Structures are given as C-alpha cells and as structure tokens.
Structure 1
Amino acid sequence: VSTLGAAHKQMVEIARAVHHKARVIIFDEPTATLTPEEKRHFFNLLQRLVKEGIAIIFITHALEEALAVANRITVMRDGEIVASGEAKGFTRASIVQAMVGRTLTETLHGEVKRTARPYGDKVLSVENLSCAGLVRNSSFSVFSGQVTGMFGLVGAGRTEMAKVVAGLLKRNIFHGGEIRLLGKSVRYRVPRPAVRDGIVYVTEDRKFDGFFETMTAGENLQIGELTDKSNPVSIVSLARARELAKQWGERLRLKQISERARMIELSGGNQQKVVIAKSLIQQPKLVIFDEPTRGVDVGAIVEIHQLISDLADQGMAVVVISSYLPEILAVSDRILVVKRGRVVEEMMLSDATEERVMFAAVH
C-alpha cells in the first residue's frame, strides 16, 4: 500500500470500510491531494455508496465540491453550527457569509478599495539571479512595510526563486547573480544563516516540512525558537512550550485546540497558523509566504490575510507567492509576474487587474 498513489490509497480505505459493513463513512478533506480525473472517479464512487444505503459525512473546505455532491449542508464556525439545511438552499456566497460573517467579495477584497502602501526601505535586492535553469537572470526588489505579491502559473519558478533567496535549495546547486539584504551581499547554501539574518520562508507544503506532526503546537513553536541566535536553550521545555502556545494562540486565534493536541489532530487552518507562528517567532526582517492559504477554510483565509496585512503595517517586508490570482490582488501592494524562471513584469496595485496580470503570466 505504501507504494500506491493518494487516490489508490483512498480506494483501499473505502474498500476496507465497506468490507467491515460500515453504515456511516466520514471523509475528512478526501479530495485535497487528488487530480481532477481522480476526483471525478471518487465522486462517482460516493454516489454508488449512497445508493447502497451508506450514510456519507463529507468534511471539506472546497465549497464547490460540497455543493456538487451533498444532499444537506452544515456550516460550522468556531466549533458551533451556524447554518444547516438542504443543499439546494445554499450558494457558495451564502456558505462563505455563514462561515465568516461577510460576503465573498468583502472577504477577498475588503469592503472598500485598498490603496497600496508606499515604498519603505529596500530590504532585499536581487540582481540577475540564476539557478540550474530553474531561475533565469531574474531581478527584483522587496521593500519594508509592503506586501510584494509574486504570481505565475504552476512551474513558473516562483517557489524556486524564493528558496534560492532563503537558502533552501540543495547546497551543491550553482546559482549566479547577486542577493543583497539591507545592502549587504549574501549567499545562503543552507537556511539557518538566512534565518539568523532575518529571512524566513513559510513553506507551501506544511505537512511535509512545516511541522512535526506527533508534537504539540507549543513544542513545534519552541523548536522554531531554538534557531533564534539570542536563545541559549537547546532542549524542549514543556513549560515554555505551553507559554508559547498560549501567547501565539491568542495572537493568531488558534481555535478549539487543547495544549496536548498533536499537530496531526489539528485542522488545516490551525496547522497553517502554527507554521506561520513558528516562522514569525524568529522576528524576521523579511517573511516569504508560499501559498499561505492552500488547504485552509474560508475563515482561516480571512485571518491569514489580515495577519499578512498587519505585518506590513508594522513595517515588515512581506512576499506572498500564490497561484490564486484573487488572493494576490487581495493582499499585495505591488505585484511581480513570474514566467519561465524570470520576473517579466512589475506593477503596482493601482495598475493591476486580473486580465493584465494573467496576460503577463501567459504571453
């Protein structure tokens, strides 16, 4: 089974449940790792199970999928049911409003049109950066007190560009060009020196390299703290772990979790908030968010977007990498469009539209 893909592993789990004559099957984010074709097969299977009299509970943040497959929909917020009824009585907009108390347009773009923040000090300057064909002669800058959005199609080289800056690509990969942090020329082969200099990268794949899943939120936060050059502690203290969990739990609104809960037991939104806190605990000068709201619910998206805005308002230099264009437009003051490993266009928020950004990404 370990050699099977995600879709086939899921089929094995379903077959096991059916074999044991389960009358109720609970699916928790079952389509998160499936391709569109795999999802189609999965939904066909769900319909067959329902026809055989099996009750299905389908937990998902993918609203279109819930509307497509469910007979009834229940919306929860902060551990409480806030709406429930026949699926035909819901729309995507009404579900979002029930989840966050605002409409979809207000959730992504705010109630009024935003004005871009002004340029602060230049924190990061990248000139003619190249790396093993992944990044090609690319140049860009990042400023304090601003959110710099980085948009491109999947495979455009956005993540690779960020990982070169943060020292996260393999150390034996050659890269040319110059990276300057606050005017000082730097080149990182491993991430720890970058973290100590004030650059942190919030991973796009939290489950693979964002946290230790069998440890608590507080223990993960303390491990993040151990890389702080000013902290002499070298072992995990349970008291300190509880203190960090309380401190960051209040700041990031970690919801409905016990201090003893392991990371694997938390929702996607709470997991992502812990990963973000683990990076912010370093007190960075520059934070790079890679797909910061992937796999989280609408309520958590709102809170993460607000956090990103707050960090910029506090003077931090922030980069947000996202393949979801409405997110880029919702959080960015300035947008860099990446194609084939290069920044091909830069525009301010006032000049950016979905059409213009997408045109630059594909032409």
Structure 2
Amino acid sequence: MDGIRVENVKKSFGETHALTNASLAAAMGEVHAIVGENGSGKSTLAKIISGVLTPDAGSVTVLGDAPRDPGHSRQLGVATIFQEMMLAEELSVAENVFAGADGFLLKKMSSGAKNLATKALIERLSGQQMDPTTKVADLPLHLKQWIVLARAIRTEPRVLILDESSAALDLAATERLHHEIRRLRDRGACVLIVTHRIAELVKIADKATVLRDGETVGTLSKSEITEKNLLRLLSAGKVQSVEQAGSSQAARAQAQTLLHCDGFQLASGTAAFDFSLREGEIVGVTGLDGAGQTEFVRALVGVDQPFAGVVEARNAEGEPVLISSVKDAYEARISYVSGDRKKEGIFPALSTFENFGIALYARHRQKNGLIDAKSLRKSFLDEVARLGIKLGAAGNRITSLSGGNQQKILIARAFASEPKVIVLNDPARGVDIGTKQELYRQLSAFADGGGAVIYLTTEIEELFGFATRVDVFAKSSLSESLPSRNVSEETLLYAMFGSRNSNAETTTEEAA
C-alpha cells in the first residue's frame, strides 16, 4: 500500500506564501525527515498531511486516500504530535493520554484502567515513573513531551508525524524516542519527523526532504544525509561554520566577575556548590532530564528560588546586588530567554512588535514619559535583520509566525535590552541550523565585547567549539566543569552519568 505522497502543494495565508511547490514521497516502513529553515513551510506541510489544513493547490494522499480533516486522518491511521504541545493543563496525565479516544472499547474503560495503561505506557516509553493522576500543569516541560508522545503512540499508528517532538528531550530521552520510532518503522509504519537536530537526522532518518522558502529543493537518501549536504540545500551555500567563541583564557582570568553564587543548593539533601561567571565567558549548561540544570538557570534570574544560597550580580553602577526576583535580574542587566516559549515567553494575543517591545519600554522612554516609538521601531528592525527573522506585518499577532521565528523574537528582545549577561534556557529549540550558527556568532561577539552568556541546551552538539566551558549537572547539583579543550561527546556523557573520564582533566577550579 502507498505511504504518503505530496505533489506540487501550495498553501497561502493571506499574503504569506507558506508553501509554493512542495513535494514528498514517503514509503511504509520508512523514517522520513522534513528539514528546512524556520518559515520554510515544514509545520504547514505536516498539518496538511494530518488533515488540519487543506492545500490551495496540488495533491496529498495518505495510504491511498486524501485526508479531508483530522478525524478522517485518524481513521486512516495517522497520529500527529504538533510543535506546540496540545495539552489540557488542568486535567490529569491519564485524561490527556486518552483524550480523543473515541473507540467503543476505550469508552468502556474505567478511570482505574486508564490510569494503569497510562502508567505502563509512559514508563515503557520514557523509563520514568509518572503518577497518572497528576495534573499536567504541575509537570516540567520534558515530562509533558512524553504525555503527547504517549497519546499518539497509544493508538499504534500506521503513520506517525512528529513535529520537533524531541526538542524538549535530553540525549538519553531522545535515544528512547528513537527506539520507539524504529519499533514502529520495523513493524511497517511510516514515520515523518520534522527536526532541526542534524545529529538526530543522521542517526534515525532513512530519507530527508529539504524545503526552502516553501519549495522542495532536494531529497537525500540515508547515505547522503550529512551536515554538509543539508546546509548546502538549506542555505544555498550561505551558512559558514561556527568558530570558537569568547575571548582568550588569559584575558578571562583577569576579567571582572559578573555573577556569583555561594553555597548554592537547589533542593534539600543535594550537594551545595559555588558558581562564577566572568566577562567574556560563554558557559554551556547541560545534564540529563531532571538533573537540576533547568532549576539552576531559573534561580539565577530570579524566576525560582534556590533552597539555599544567594546569587550576586552587579548593577549599572558596578555595585553588588542580590538577585531574588526577575525585576532584580533586569535591573542588574541580566536578560533571560525561557525554554517554555508558549507558557513563559510570548504573549499570544499581542502583535510581533508588541512582544518584542514589551520589556523595552523603560529603555525607550522619553523625558516626558512617552515611549520613543521611532527608536523602538529601529531597534526592532535592527534585531529582525540581525537574526534573519521571517515575518509579515509587525502588527500581526506573534502566533502568525512559525515556532522558530517566535523563538527568534524572544532572543531579539533579550539582545535589545542591552544586557551585560544573557541567560538562555534551551534557546535553539525549534530553530533551524542556519539561525543557530548565526546565534552562536552573535553570542560570541557579545562575549568578546565584554558580556557573558549562560547557555543551557539539551543538544550537546551545540556546545562543541562554542562554549568556553561546560558545566554539567547531575543529582540536582553541579557535577563537573569542563574547560573548552575537554568538551567532547564522550566527556560530557561521562559527566552526565556521574562517571569521570580519566582523560578529561576536569575540575571546577581549572575551568574557572
């Protein structure tokens, strides 16, 4: 039976041409990647295949039939996990996993049976125990990702579409997801993945279709899926490799300390640690899911409070100040980009321009108290050009942008606040590789100019040749600090799993 066939599809939203000439052919028993820069039409294509959107022109067939709507698509055996997690936050884990279950037998299942099925499924998928009666709103982002994955895989779909579904998962969790993808593929399912993770494509994809500006520009077989080939198709040769970031080690040793933590403890019973950040440093932060790295960066900027210890920074006059709130961090010239764009980043009812400017009004206020709209608009246009943000009218709602371009607006807002320290919590989640490399260059230039960066990521490949050091978290504490010369996949994995690599030569003192 046919898998998925897309031929010359076009789709526009007003004046925005999301797809101009997209084609794709994915077979059953195949993992097929859809790759492209932010705004290239990947998510639009996934929604058309899922029956959520109807193409303006061209044809789409799934298992020999044209999907008419999401219900018809589900009847064909299609399950889709969209980029934005669709969860009922006030309902339980089990209620979310079984949401939309409309079969006769599933209606007859008791709450107890659903709880048991949910617990067993999530434990099999994630390797973690989760109380199925827990309210979803009380869970961290990476556990919410497993809930939407479980909801899709519960149906044993014939076609599974994953739109950036590993973006919130760490290395070990992504490997578990890959195991499940291979299981579905090996039993004959077709799996479509939309992802920006090059390392993920190389490991899991059998084929890759590349989109640029809404048009299919190439299809790669498994042996052809390399970073070089993908970059060539994605950017038409415009993207260059990232270079080592930050000022020299000798210069950093003499640099001013911008941020310092004493006796920091993230939770009761965990090991206390100290942390310092100097001018010119780019400190990568990583660890397995739940290892404490997210709680650490949130405490640094006053979003959450540590169990013990203080964060000390310096204000514009160079005086020491304690950070205990987001307001304190802002006044100390510390900008923060949240990892949960939907919940903590954007204001969905506001325009793109309003989302950019909402944290910048104080910096663009005139003596008469009014906002200097011309100055703010110039800052907006400068940052849009710098980060290559694809958008329509600045007055359109920010939700009219692709997820990756929404993320770029948040990063642009952080740069425009003229910070001394930028703290980024998985900022490249859902961002294309060309933008990632431009972001690395911008952060490198920022550090070279006397700023400092704390960069948390679930993709350890992002840190190679970029961070001046990497701080690895385990058991809710800082486990090891690796100087840039020792940052490799091997040493990071040793540190994440609590084992010391004899070749690493890593100590916190040396890295500092």
Q: Bin the TM-score by the shorter chain.
A: 0.7 to 0.9
3-state SS of the aligned residue for 2:417? Answer: coil
Match for residue 346 of structure 1 among 473, 481, 486: 481
> How far did 1:138 drift?
1.8
Residue of structure 1 equivalent to 2:215: 81
Task: Please name the residue that 1:176 is paired with.
Answer: 309
Q: What secondary structure sits across from 1:207 in the alignment?
A: helix
Deviations 1:82-124 (CA, angstroms, capped at 9, x unpaired): 62347668525333431145699x75xx4x7778733132111
Secondary structure, aligned partner of 1:261: coil
In 2, Cα distance between equivalents of 1:280 and 1:156: 28
1:318 to 453, 474, 483: 453
Report the CA distance between 1:203 and its aligned residue.
Answer: 0.6
Question: What displacement does 1:27 show?
Answer: 9.8
Q: Which moved more, 1:217-226 or 1:260-269?
A: 260-269
Distance 1:275 1:92, change over 3 A: same
Q: Deviations over 1:279-324 (max 9, x none)?
A: 2222111111111111222222222222222211222111111122
String of CA shifts for 1:238-289, please: whole Å, max 9, x gaps.
Answer: 7666444322211222125332332111122211111012122221111111
Q: Which among 154, 160, 166 is matched to residue 289 of structure 2?
A: 154
Letter in 2 for 1:81: E
Aligned to 1:4: none
Residue 91, structure 1, aligned to residue 91, structure 2: no
One-letter code aligned to 1:259: A
Distance 1:251 1:115 in 2: 19
Shift of 1:129: 1.3
Larger deviation, residues 229-238 vs 248-257: 229-238
Q: Could you tell me which amino acid in structure 1 is paired with residue 489 of structure 2?
A: E
Partner Cα separation in structure 2 for residue 299 and residue 253 of structure 1: 10
Q: Evaluate the alpha carbon distance shift between residue 230 and residue 164 of structure 1 in structure 2; reply closer, same or farther with a 3 A threshold.
A: farther
Q: What does 1:87-236 align with in structure 2 at a 5 Å threshold? A: 90-93=224-227, 94-101=229-236, 107=241, 110=242, 117-118=248-249, 119=252, 120-133=255-268, 136-169=271-304, 175-177=308-310, 179-181=312-314, 184-228=319-363
Is the deviation greater in 226-235 or in 212-221? 226-235
- Aligned match for 1:300, one of 415, 424, 435: 435
- Quote how far apart the aligned CAs of 1:154 are: 1.4
* Range with greater deviation from structure 2 (193-202 or 27-36): 27-36
Equivalent position amino acid for 1:357 in 2: L
In 1, distance between residues paired with 2:81 and 2:368?
A: 38
| Matches of 1:177 and 1:319, distance apart in 2 | 17
Give the 3 Å change call, closer, same or farther, for CA 136–128 of structure 1 in structure 2.
same
Number of residues paired by the alignment? 338
Equivalent-residue separation in structure 1 for 2:235 and 2:483 (angstroms): 29
The structure 1 residue matched to 2:69, chosen from 17, 20, 27, is 17
Question: What is the TM-score normalised by the length of structure 1?
Answer: 0.75
Aligned AA for 1:350? R
Please report the RMSD computed on the Cα atoms of aligned residues, expressed in angstroms.
4.3
Q: Is contact 1:269–1:297 with CA below 8 Å preserved after alignment?
A: yes
Q: For 2:195 and 2:439, how far apart are their aligned partners in 1?
A: 19
Tell me the distance in 2 between the aligned counterparts of 1:275 and 1:47.
30
Q: Equivalents in 1 of 2:483, 2:389: separation in Å? A: 33
In the alignment, does 2:377 pair up with 1:274? no
The Cα offsets for residues 106-162 of structure 1, whole Å up to 9 and x where unpaired, read as: 75xx4x777873313211121111244397412111111121111211111112112
Contact 2:292–2:473 (8 Å) recurs in 1: yes
Q: Tell me the CA shift for residue 215 of structure 1.
A: 2.0
> Is structure 2 residue 74 aligned with structure 1 residue 30?
no
State whether residues 83 and 403 of structure 2, in contact with CA within 8 Å, keep that contact through their aligned partners in structure 1.
no
Question: Equivalent residue for 2:159?
Answer: 46
Shift of 1:166: 1.0
Amino acid at match of 2:218: S
TM-score, normalized by length of structure 2?
A: 0.55
Structure 1 pair 239–229 and aligned structure 2 pair: CA distance change class (3 A): closer
Q: Partner letter of residue 480 of structure 2?
A: E
Q: Which amino acid aligns with 1:257?
A: G
For 2:489 and 2:197, the matched residues in 1 are separated by 22
Give the distance between the partners of 1:324 and 1:100, measured in 2 at CA. Answer: 21
Unaligned runs of 5+ residues in structure 2 are 1-49, 54-66, 86-144, 162-190, 499-512
How far the C-alpha of 1:349 sits from its partner, in A, is 0.6
Aligned residue type for 1:179: E
Question: What is the rounded CA distance, in whole Å, between the counterparts of 2:496 and 2:205 in structure 1?
Answer: 33
1:234 CA drift (Å): 7.2
Give the fraction of aligned pairs with identical amino acids, expressed as a percent.
Answer: 23
Match of 1:258 among 388, 393, 406: 393
**Cα–Cα, structure 1 residues 275 and 177, in superposed 2: closer, same or farther, change >3 Å?**
closer
Query: Secondary structure at 1:214's aligned position in 2?
Result: coil
